[in-house]
């Protein structure tokens, strides 16, 4: 039997001022963990966001709440577009998947998300 995850979906999308990352798995045979990374357009390398152990579910999600709290340039904002990378570590090999968010939400969208969150 071949080991390795079968990833059927890996997607990043904006959720107000955060980014929702979702992946779906058809097979987790031999999976040790999932590692999620983010890289802004103006950053030289990927930064690890989290490591998640397989739990037998078919859909995983992660909410990246630090997109606009980055330290690039000390201004509190990072340059988009953002690329997310999911690395699936198995007992025999590593598989990587990437998803790029094309544009960053405008300042108006970001502030509207902040305003809405105050009334939750």
Range 93-104 average pLDDT: 82
Q: What local confidence, expressed as pLDDT, does residue 111 receive? A: 47
Contact assessment for residue 60 and residue 20, using Cβ atoms and an 8 Å cutoff: no
Contact assessment for residue 14 and residue 105, using Cβ atoms and an 8 Å cutoff: yes
Name the region of 30 (left: φ>0; alpha: ψ -120 to 50; beta: rest).
left
Percentage with pLDDT > 90 across the chain: 41
Lowest mean pLDDT among 4-13, 27-36, 42-51, 83-92: 4-13
Considering the entire predicted model, what is its pTM?
0.75
Q: In which residue are the tokens 């953002």 written? A: 82
């Amino acid at each position: 039997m071949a080991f390795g995850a079968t990833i059927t979906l890996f997607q990043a999308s904006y959720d107000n001022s955060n980014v929702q990352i979702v992946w779906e798995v058809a097979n987790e045979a031999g999976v040790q963990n999932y590692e999620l990374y983010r890289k802004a357009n103006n950053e030289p390398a990927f930064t690890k966001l989290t490591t998640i152990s397989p739990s037998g579910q078919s859909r995983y999600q992660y909410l990246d709440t630090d997109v606009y709290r980055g330290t690039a340039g000390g201004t509190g904002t990072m340059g988009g577009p953002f690329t997310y990378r999911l690395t699936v570590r198995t007992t025999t090999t590593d598989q990587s998947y990437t998803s790029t968010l094309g544009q960053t939400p405008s300042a108006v969208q970001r502030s509207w998300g902040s305003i809405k969150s105050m009334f939750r």
